[in-house]
Amino acid sequence: MSKRDFLSTADLTRKELDDLLDLAARVKGKRPGQVLAGKVLGLLFFQPSLRTRVSFEVAMVQLGGHCIDLSSDDLYELEPQEQAVMDGRAEEHVKDAARTLSRYVDALGIRSAARTGTWERDRQELLVRNYAKYASVPVINLETSFEHPCQAIADVLTMRENLVTLKGRRLTLLWCNHPEPKSLGPTHSILQAAAMMGMQVTLAHPLGFEVDPQVLERSRALAGEHGGGLRVVNDMETAAHGAEVLYARSWGCTKYWDDAEREAMVKRSLQGWRVDEALMASTNNAFLMHPLPVRRNVAATDAVLDGEHSVIYDQAANRTHVQKALLMQLLK
């Protein structure tokens, strides 16, 4: 059998997404036995992680398997380019690391979301996709600058639990301010997943913080195919009005992707892009979502993050259940 990687929400069909969600719902609250006994998952984190790291480790242990967790301190700097003359900082080529690790573990999860150059370079996800190319075991995207598919599946599960059916329901994906440059990974992934579920999606951001055009067009096509819709607005109040889910998230400016100082200057005038009680009051009793970590009273106020409509911890908890379902499908 050929191996199956999980690199993007766009890799899934609607049936596959539904099957994954149904399996996650079934395993939630129970341990499905030692179905992955003897299996080993290698986790490679080139950036910090809390929820992704812990939820994958817990999921693997509860399924009877084991994890090997490596951070950037444990790993050589890797060269992802083909035919590279490796006389620089990189100590090892990705193909050699991927082929070696494939002899040790049954699957690999990789987080590589740092800015390494221009947006055109980072949107290619060179490290993760070259690991997938050369590894003989399944590779799971644990977040890049371009996608964070595991987060998005947990987000959809959380929305489905609260709204039951998602087709036609109104989701607003709202840009929020943040002092640091952030990846577009969670934004791109939830945009595509929500579109595939047939939701009426409003993408709201200030001018200059557009998402990748390819992702936008793919999401618009998916929404049309599945009975939903997608609109883009540049006004917070317009976006929030009537929303049933308000998903707050910051993401970077691709125009100034390699110029953090310029991006910071642009954001100085955008401090009003924050979710507060007044904005939530304009929604249709919306649930508040955020993938965490969150800058309190910058991206959203304490009042809404700790309010009765906040489901941010449910999102985090659902990561474990989605991870279990994904690992069962890839390794069982």
* Mean pLDDT calculated for residue range 71-82: 86
Identify the H or E element spanning 111: strand 107-112
* Residue 293 in this model has a pLDDT that exceeds 50: yes
> What is the per-residue pLDDT for 33?
82
* Residue 59 in this model has a pLDDT that exceeds 80: yes
Q: 9-148+320-331: which CATH number, 3.10.290.10, 3.30.420.40, 3.40.50.1370, 3.60.20.10?
A: 3.40.50.1370
Q: What is the mean pLDDT of the chain?
A: 95
| CA nearest neighbour of 68 among 37, 101, 46 | 101
Bond preceding residue 293 cis, omega within 30 of 0: yes
User: pLDDT band at residue 30, thresholds of 50, 70 and 90?
Assistant: confident
* 306, 277 contact by CB (below 8 A): no
Return d(Cα 20, Cα 185) in angstroms, integer: 20
Determine what percent of the chain is predicted with pLDDT higher than 70: 99
Which of 69-83, 207-221, 312-326 has the weakest average pLDDT? 69-83
Q: How big, in percent rounded to 5, are the helix, strand and coil portions of the chain? A: 40, 15, 40
> What is the per-residue pLDDT for 58?
96
State the DSSP code for 310: B
The pairing of strands 229-233 and 92-93 is unpaired
* Residue 331 in this model has a pLDDT that exceeds 50: yes
Domain boundaries, the chain: 9-148+320-331, 151-315
Report how far apart, in Å, the C-alpha atoms of 268 and of each of 134, 204, 271 are: 43, 18, 6
> What is the per-residue pLDDT for 162?
97
* 184, 255 contact by CB (below 8 A): no
* Mean pLDDT calculated for residue range 179-192: 96
Which residues, in sequence order, are CB contacts of 2 under 8 Å at separation 6+? Answer: none
Angle CA(244)–CA(228)–CA(164) in degrees, nearest 5?
Answer: 45
Phi–psi pair at 279, nearest 5 degrees: -65, -40
* Residue 303 in this model has a pLDDT that exceeds 70: yes
Return d(Cα 52, Cα 263) in angstroms, integer: 27
Return d(Cα 256, Cα 261) in angstroms, integer: 9
- Asked if domains 9-148+320-331 and 151-315 share a fold, the reply is yes
> What fold is seen in the domain 151-315?
Rossmann fold (3.40.50)
> What is the per-residue pLDDT for 76?
87
Report how far apart, in Å, the C-alpha atoms of 26 and of each of 23, 33, 197, 206, 321 are: 5, 13, 19, 40, 9
* Mean pLDDT calculated for residue range 66-89: 90
- pLDDT tens per residue, range 188-245: 999 999 999 999 999 999 999 999 999 999 999 999 999 999 999 999 999 999 999 9
Residue 249 token pair: 């998230």
Residue 73: burial class (beta carbons within 10 Å; 0-12, 13-18, 19+): exposed
| CA nearest neighbour of 148 among 329, 291, 313 | 291
User: pLDDT band at residue 2, thresholds of 50, 70 and 90?
Assistant: low
Residue 105 token pair: 């573990």
> What is the per-residue pLDDT for 75?
85
> What is the per-residue pLDDT for 1?
42
